[in-house]
Structure 1
Amino acid sequence: MAETSRRTRILFAAIAVMVVGVLAAGGVVWRDDILRTRLDPKVPFQTYDPPPAPDYARRESWSLLPSEPQTWADDDPAADVFFVGPTIYDGGAHWNAPIDDERSDAFFRRTIGPNYVGPFVRVGRVFAPRYRQASLYSMLTLRDDAREARRFAYGDVRQAFEHYMAAYNHGRPFLIVGVEQGGTLASRLLAEEVAGDADIRSRLVAAYLIQTAVPADAPPIPLCTSPTEPHCLAAWMSAYDGDRERAQQLRDRSLVWTSEGELANLSGPAACYNPILGQVSGAAAPARLARGATNATGLEWGARPALQTRQISARCENSVLRVSRPRSAAFRPTGSWANQRKMPGYNLFYGDLEANAETRLNTLMADPDFAQAARPILEGAEVTDSPVHRID
């Protein structure tokens, strides 16, 4: 009897170990699905009640805004930068993020600002609107609700840009920079607000759409075919050499705007700008030409990060910018599962973008036909020394 009882205990222990093993294996296999389910708002977008709309006449509706947005000082940069940020809100409670979400704001201040706004602060005053961005969950599903959330987000970005143009631009040269989801929204902005307006188009230094799909055969404005020309579009999606799965996902799952203002799957080749070469090109860019990558996460705003040169090479292949894996451990994914699916906390092309934006601005400003902006005179305005930008 005792021997039978011992065998029974051993059998149950073995079964328990097997069950735990199966559950653990299932957790690994279905981990992504489990975490996606946690981020699902679980309400159809058609019946969803979105957060309150931002008022772009108020400072709190901007992540970055000059101290005196309606005018500028002699030592301010010569241009402006309208920056549309990427997905920083995980999801769960909303399809579209409230603009006062504290975790999202912290991620912008710590990661997005230093790494992706940073390359452009030497050429322009930065205007970065907070907008009701589509959540990270909307990037992880092909449901129609997710596309509706992105279309909804565009309404905020368009209003922010129109307010910037009417209240703050005053004829100044400007750049549009969009990252990931923000790049897709900026692409539509170029088509609807810039391409058809000769005056606005004449002041556009360039548009940089980072990790953004743009149809190569139908871009909203002409693609940058040289490293110096202004008024052009630099757009690319990248994957590391050997990462075939990501390259395939970029080609199969990327959404672009149709002429009817709908989001549809990319059906043809995508534009592929090589930041190291400063142009759309099929040529390979060796690491010796790269001007410097950086991990600026957590860096104090306004401080220029140290750049690491010769970290990467890059070439365009089948609509995807194939990038060699950097040697430094500073350029490895970190953070939570959700954060690793957002823009990484480093910028491999920081130095290339910084130098190229300055070159294009200099080309535009040197054009004798370019009309220089006249600084507005504000009644009762008192000019004092103050920081160029601030992160609220």
Structure 2
Amino acid sequence: MLDRSRRTKIWLALAGALVLAIVATGVLVWRDDILRTGLDPKVPFQTYDPPPAPDYSDRAAWRLLPTDPLTWSDEAPPADVFFVGPTLYDGGRHWNAPIDDARADRFFRRTVGPNYVGPFVEAGRVFAPRYRQGSLYTMLTLRDDAREARRFAYEDVRRAFRHYLAAYNSGRPLILVGVEQGGVLASRLLAEEIAGDPELARRLVAAYLVETAVEAQNPPFTPCVAAAEPGCLAAWVSAYEGERDRAQNLRDRSLVWNGQGELTNLSGPPLCFNPLLGRVSQEAAPARLAKGATNATGLEWGARPALQTRQVSAKCERGVLMVSRPRSAAFKRAGSWADRRKVPGYNLFYGDLEADAEARLATLLADPNFPRAARPIVETAEVPRAPVHRID
């Protein structure tokens, strides 16, 4: 009787272990789907109540803003950088992120600022608006709700850009930078707000749309086809050599704006700017040209990171920048499941973008016909009232 009881317990234990193994296998197989579903707001966008809109006259509506955006000294960088940030907010409750989400703030401060804003701080004062961006979930699905959430985010970015131009720019050269989701929104700014304004377009140093697909046959602005040429567009999406599925996915699933302001799938290969060459080109760029990659995550804001040269080579293939895997172990994705689906905590082209922006700015400023920015008048002086003599 004791033996039968023992055998029963053994069989129950084996059956329990088998069930646990099946469950664990299922979790591993469907892990991405399970985690992605957890980010779904589960409410149609049409009935969704978004977070309050930012007020761009309030400093709190900007992630980065000069100490005194209305004035600048002779030592200040000569241009302005308008930076549209990438996906910071995971999702779950909202389609569009509240602008005061603490976790998103930490991700920007630790990762995005040091790695993606950093290359441009020597060239320009940085203006980086907070906006009700589409959540990470909107980047992982092609549902109409997700597209509507990203269209909604553009309205904040456009308001921020118009406020920046009216209140702070004062005719200064402009560098437009957008990363990933922010790059998609910046591409529409480029088409609607800059391309249609000849005076503003003349002041454009360059638009850098990092990890952003735009149509090569119908780009929103003139592409950069020569190094140090100002007033042009540098945009690319990338994959590591051997990541053929990722490269094809970028061609098939990347979204661009159509003429009706809707996000639609690419109809052809994306534009491919090679940061190692400083131009749109099919030419292979060897690693000896790479000016410096860096993992600046966690670096104190304003500190210059150490750059590692010759880390990667790059070549455009059917519109996707195929990059060799870096030699250093510092360039590996880290963090949570959600963090690994956002922009990486390193920038393989930090030194290349830094040098590229400074060269294009120098060319623009060297043009004797380029209009110099007028300093805004921010101080007033009381003038004594002069007597008025009437003439009959």
TM-score of the superposed pair, with normalisation by structure 2: 0.96
Q: Who is 2:258 aligned against?
A: 258
Q: Who is 2:227 aligned against?
A: 227
Rounded to whole Å, the distance in 2 between the matches of 1:220 and 1:249 is 22
Partner amino acid, structure 2, of 1:371 = P
1:39 lines up with 2:34 in the alignment = no
Rounded to whole Å, the distance in 1 between the matches of 2:14 and 2:78 is 72
Rounded to whole Å, the distance in 2 between the matches of 1:228 and 1:74 is 24
Deviation of the 1:380 alpha carbon:
4.7
Other structure's SS at 1:212 match: coil
Q: Who is 2:387 aligned against?
A: none
Rounded to whole Å, the distance in 2 between the matches of 1:191 and 1:260 is 12
Offset from partner CA, 1:241-289 (integer Å, 9 cap, x none):
1112211211111000001111001120100000000000001110000
Rounded to whole Å, the distance in 1 between the matches of 2:317 and 2:21 is 42
Deviation of the 1:6 alpha carbon:
2.9
1:111 lines up with 2:127 in the alignment = no
Q: What pairs up with 1:346-365 in 2 under 5 angstroms? A: 346-365=346-365
1:148 lines up with 2:148 in the alignment = yes
Deviation of the 1:14 alpha carbon:
1.5
Partner amino acid, structure 2, of 1:322 = M
Rounded to whole Å, the distance in 2 between the matches of 1:11 and 1:313 is 57
1:333 lines up with 2:333 in the alignment = yes
Q: What pairs up with 1:230-379 in 2 under 5 angstroms? A: 230-379=230-379
Offset from partner CA, 1:288-316 (integer Å, 9 cap, x none):
00000000011111111000001100000
Other structure's SS at 2:330 match: helix
Q: What pairs up with 1:185-200 in 2 under 5 angstroms? A: 185-200=185-200
Partner amino acid, structure 2, of 1:166 = A
Rounded to whole Å, the distance in 2 between the matches of 1:263 and 1:130 is 22
Rounded to whole Å, the distance in 2 between the matches of 1:252 and 1:7 is 56
Rounded to whole Å, the distance in 2 between the matches of 1:45 and 1:285 is 44
Rounded to whole Å, the distance in 1 between the matches of 2:228 and 2:310 is 22
Offset from partner CA, 1:29-51 (integer Å, 9 cap, x none):
11111111111111100000000
1:136 lines up with 2:136 in the alignment = yes
Q: Who is 2:81 aligned against?
A: 81
Q: Who is 1:57 aligned against?
A: 57
Other structure's SS at 1:154 match: helix
Rounded to whole Å, the distance in 1 between the matches of 2:113 and 2:270 is 27
Deviation of the 1:15 alpha carbon:
1.1
Rounded to whole Å, the distance in 1 between the matches of 2:259 and 2:219 is 11
Q: Who is 1:389 aligned against?
A: none
Once structures 1 and 2 are overlaid, which stretch shifts more, 368-377 or 217-226?
368-377
Calculate percent identity across the aligned residue pairs.
Answer: 72
- Name which one, 1 or 2, has greater alpha-carbon Rg: 2
Rounded to whole Å, the distance in 1 between the matches of 2:51 and 2:8 is 58
Q: Who is 1:26 aligned against?
A: 26
Other structure's SS at 2:306 match: coil
Rounded to whole Å, the distance in 1 between the matches of 2:15 and 2:317 is 51
Deviation of the 1:365 alpha carbon:
0.5
Q: Who is 2:386 aligned against?
A: none
Rounded to whole Å, the distance in 2 between the matches of 1:216 and 1:137 is 27
Partner amino acid, structure 2, of 1:12 = L
Partner amino acid, structure 1, of 2:268 = G
Partner amino acid, structure 2, of 1:231 = G
Deviation of the 1:5 alpha carbon:
2.8
Other structure's SS at 1:66 match: coil
Offset from partner CA, 1:200-228 (integer Å, 9 cap, x none):
00000000000000000000111000111
Offset from partner CA, 1:141-187 (integer Å, 9 cap, x none):
11100000000000000000000100100000011000000000000
Rounded to whole Å, the distance in 1 between the matches of 2:380 and 2:151 is 41
Q: Who is 2:92 aligned against?
A: 92
Rounded to whole Å, the distance in 1 between the matches of 2:211 and 2:343 is 9
Rounded to whole Å, the distance in 1 between the matches of 2:20 and 2:318 is 44
Q: Who is 2:177 aligned against?
A: 177
Once structures 1 and 2 are overlaid, which stretch shifts more, 200-209 or 365-374?
365-374
Rounded to whole Å, the distance in 2 between the matches of 1:380 and 1:37 is 58
Rounded to whole Å, the distance in 1 between the matches of 2:295 and 2:157 is 28
Offset from partner CA, 1:107-141 (integer Å, 9 cap, x none):
10110000000000000000000000000010111
Rounded to whole Å, the distance in 2 between the matches of 1:333 and 1:376 is 44
Partner amino acid, structure 2, of 1:55 = D
Q: Who is 2:13 aligned against?
A: 13
Other structure's SS at 1:164 match: helix
Q: Who is 2:389 aligned against?
A: none
Q: Who is 2:157 aligned against?
A: 157
Rounded to whole Å, the distance in 1 between the matches of 2:271 and 2:186 is 15
Rounded to whole Å, the distance in 1 between the matches of 2:252 and 2:21 is 35
| Alignment coverage as a number of residue pairs | 381
Deviation of the 1:12 alpha carbon:
1.6
Rounded to whole Å, the distance in 2 between the matches of 1:104 and 1:36 is 18
Once structures 1 and 2 are overlaid, which stretch shifts more, 253-262 or 242-251?
242-251
Rounded to whole Å, the distance in 2 between the matches of 1:325 and 1:301 is 27
Rounded to whole Å, the distance in 2 between the matches of 1:289 and 1:66 is 33
Rounded to whole Å, the distance in 2 between the matches of 1:209 and 1:167 is 24
Other structure's SS at 1:330 match: coil
Deviation of the 1:16 alpha carbon:
1.0
